[in-house]
Structure 1
C-alpha cells in the first residue's frame, strides 16, 4: 500500500466518528474558538474553495463553498451540509488557473503527500489579489507537542501527519512565492488547561515565537 492510500484510510474509515467529535463537550468549545478565528479571515470572501474539506464543518462558514478531498466518505457528509464537493487531490486540482478569490486549508497541509505541490496548486488556481487561508497546528505549540506524542503512539490520524514548526512553514511558503499577510491564533492554553471560550488573538510577525504560540493558528497568505 503506497503512502497516499495509507493517509486516505483513516479519513475514510472514521469519517462519522471524526465528525461526531465536533458535537462532544470538548469538541464544541474548541470548534467555536476555531470558527471565530477563521471568520475573521473569510468575512470578505464571497466564494471559497476548501482543500481538504473533510466533513464540511468549516466550509459552512462561507457564503458559498466548494470542497475538495481525496476521501469519499467525509465528502458525503459535507454534501449533506450543502457544500458542493469534488473528490480530488490537493496536488492536482481540477480547476482552471485563477478561478478562486479565496482558498483555505484547515489542518490539511500536515496530511498532504506533497506540501509544496499542494501550495503551488492553490497558488495556480488563486485569482489575482486573492488570498489563501491556512489554519494549522505547529509543533512548538502545546497542542502540537501533544499531537507529536500521539503520532509516536500510532494514533489513527496523527500517525500520518507531518507537523512543522512555524519557522519551517514560513520558509516553505516563501520558497513557493507566498508571504504571510495576517496571523490570528486561538487555543492559547489548551491542552494544558481545559478548553474555554476565547477571543482570537492577533499575532505579530515581528515576534516569530509570539511568546507562546497558540494551538490553532490561522495565516492569511498572499502571492
Structure 2
C-alpha cells in the first residue's frame, strides 16, 4: 500500500515546510535543475503538490495521493494517479524521469526503479533527489522520524544504496551533485551546488538507461 495517508491528511503542513525552509527548497531546486535533461518528454514520479515539477517545467506527474495531486494540477502539472511500482506508461515511451524525496516512501524501491527503466527510452535518464541517510540532515531525520507524520514510515537510503539499486535495475553513467551544507535552520540563503556527494545532505543522482 502506498504511504499516502499523511499526505492526504496533512497537505497544508507539507506545504508549510517549503515556506519555512524556503532557501533549503530553492537550493534543492537548483541542484535538481543542474542534472535534469532540458529536452524531451518526461514525468515526475511522486510529483506531490508540484513543488519541483512546476518550476522545473516538468508537465507530467504520477502521484498516489489525490489531495496532493489536486494541488499539483492547480500548479499546471498533468497528474495521473498511480504508484512508482506500476507506472502508467508504455515501454520506452519517456526521455527522462524525475524522483525527488520519493524513493524513501515507495513500498518497493527495487521494483520502482525497474519500472522506471522499462518506461525510459534507450539513452533516457532518471534523476533522483534525496536526503542522504549518512549526512547531517539525514541522521537528524532518522533520529526524529517517529515524531514526524511524514517520515514515520519512511526508509532513508545512503547514496551508495541508491546507486546499488540503480545498477541492479540496469542503469549506468552516474553523475552526482550535492547541496545543503548546513543544518536546515541555518540555511538563510541559496546554498551552492557542488559536484559529487559526501558533504551535502541533499544529493541528486542522474543515471542513464
Q: Which bracket does the TM-score occupy, shorter chain normalised?
A: over 0.9
Match of 2:176 in 1: 183
Partner-residue secondary structure (3-state), 1:111: coil
Deviation at 1:154, TM superposition (A): 3.7
Residue from 62, 72, 79 that aligns with 1:85: 79
The 5-angstrom pairing of residues 104-143 of structure 1 reads 104-143=98-137
Residue from 139, 155, 159 that aligns with 2:152: 159
Under a length normalisation based on structure 2, what TM-score does the superposition of the two structures give?
0.93
Under a length normalisation based on structure 1, what TM-score does the superposition of the two structures give?
0.88
Instruction: Tell me if the contact between 1:97 and 1:125 (Cα under 8 Å) persists in the aligned partners.
Output: yes
Match of 1:206 in 2: none
Q: Which has the higher contact order (CA 8 A, sep 6+)?
A: 2
Match of 1:21 in 2: 17
Match of 2:7 in 1: 11
Deviation at 1:138, TM superposition (A): 1.4
For structure 1, the residue ranges without an aligned partner over 5 or more in a row are 204-209
Within the alignment, does 1:39 sit opposite 2:33 as a pair? yes
Match of 2:167 in 1: 174
Distance in 2, Cα, partners of 1:102 & 1:123:
10
Instruction: Tell me if the contact between 1:52 and 1:108 (Cα under 8 Å) persists in the aligned partners.
Output: yes
- C-alpha RMSD of the superposition: 1.7
Within the alignment, does 1:72 sit opposite 2:66 as a pair? yes
Within the alignment, does 1:222 sit opposite 2:208 as a pair? yes
How many residue pairs match? The answer is 209
Q: Report which stretch shifted further, 104-113 or 54-63.
A: 54-63
For structure 2, the residue ranges without an aligned partner over 5 or more in a row are none
Distance in 1, Cα, partners of 2:187 & 2:33:
23
Instruction: Provide, for residues 93-149 of structure 1, a one-character-per-residue CA deviation record: whole Å limited to 9, x for no partner.
Output: 111011110101001011000001100111111112110000011111001001101
